[in-house]
Amino acid sequence: MTLLPNPNYWKGHPKLDQIQIKFVPDPETALAALKTGDVDFVPDFAESDVPTLTALEPAIHTRVDGLGDFEHYLFNMGVKGTGVGQSDYDGPCRSRM
């Protein structure tokens, strides 16, 4: 998924031209992508992966934060369709925990 700046945003152009979000099927694929430099950030490894990740220093900086919350990203484009700026679901985005 590529996020692009809104050209009509009233505060002007952001510092980043775009943000790319890559979806990976499992932690092993995420680790491989991190090692090769295909991704810059992976938010959710297991605690058992910490020794593997810290062994990658200094090429890859590791930061471990223990958090007691649930993190996820939801994108609700709100317009049914298949084109740019449209989604396959027309309605509010709902998540159950």
pLDDT for residue 71? 64
Low-confidence residues in the chain, pLDDT < 50: 93-97
Residues belonging to the chain: 97
Using the 8-state DSSP alphabet, how is residue 42 labeled? -
pLDDT for residue 95? 45
Domain ranges of the chain: 1-97
pLDDT for residue 85? 55
CA pseudo-torsion sign 80, 83, 84, 87: positive
pLDDT for residue 97? 41
Distance from C-alpha of 21 to C-alpha of 75, rounded to nearest angstrom? 12
